Amino acid sequence: MAHIVTVAIVDDEPLAREGLRALLVGDRDVQVVAECADGQAAIEAIRRTKPDIVFLDVQMPEVDGFDVIRALADAGDPLPAVVFVTAYDQYALKAFDVHAVDYLLKPFHDERFAEALARAKARRGEDMTERIARLLDERKPKIMRVLVKTGGRVLFIRADEIDWIEAADYYVKLHVAGKVHMLRESMAALEARLDPELFFRVHRSAIVNLERVRELQPFSRREHVLVLRDGTRLRLTRSRRERLAELLGQRL
């Protein structure tokens, strides 16, 4: 008798979950033990059901796929075989390499799904902790664009078009070419997804695109001010000035 393989589905899109479930129920060796629409529910369900395999969406609001894996790893929970489900393009997906079991690029064909499932079955029970930790620490792809919902529309804002980012309670304000766009995401979560060679956190409530910085001015004995091309002035503490100097490889 074949061993039953338990699977969890995590995706914030109902149609995506439905599509994955339809493909999985066609395999008599598979049992879907959890289906989650957000990252926090996924963490709880994976801990409770301990599935062999998780089909995990990368991009979800608030708690994304990487956050799910990080929460499990940090708590010392055993990590299942993970198949990432993502809309990232092929170039960005090179970052996944072989540190995850596999990935599915939306939209995918049945044959591609079958290949990913077979690979995950073969790898179930393998200790994924080291591989996933390496993926989280070194290989996480950086976002190329930010999606902002406004007035019934969805704006695609290129990350390198952002001048600076301001904290606003449970939101962040994206300052782009004189306009402000509200995004429901924490500063910490957004910072983790940005390119650290382009974006720098000047203090707790502000992140700046270094390409927009025009000059650095003294403000007090312990603080400086970054002046952006549009005239925006952002306070820079001494400790962050030293960190910026390390980043740029120059004395400031």
Residue 244: the pLDDT is 81
CA atoms of 234 and 79, how far apart (whole Å): 42
Residue 130: the pLDDT is 55
CA atoms of 226 and 216, how far apart (whole Å): 5
> Which pLDDT tens digit goes with each residue over 195-242?
888 899 888 889 999 999 999 888 877 788 999 999 999 988 777 888
Nearest to 212 by CA among 147, 252, 157, 160: 160
Categorize the per-residue pLDDT at 91 as very low, low, confident or very high, splitting at 50, 70 and 90.
Answer: very low
> Which pLDDT tens digit goes with each residue over 7-24?
999 999 999 999 999 999
63 CB-near residues (< 8 Å, 6+ apart) = 38, 39, 40, 42, 43, 71
pTM of the model: 0.52
Domains and CATH numbers, the chain: 5-138 (3.40.50.2300), 146-248 (2.40.50.1020)
Residue 195: the pLDDT is 85
Mean pLDDT computed over 148-173: 88
CA distances from 170 to 40, 201, 221 (A): 16, 17, 33
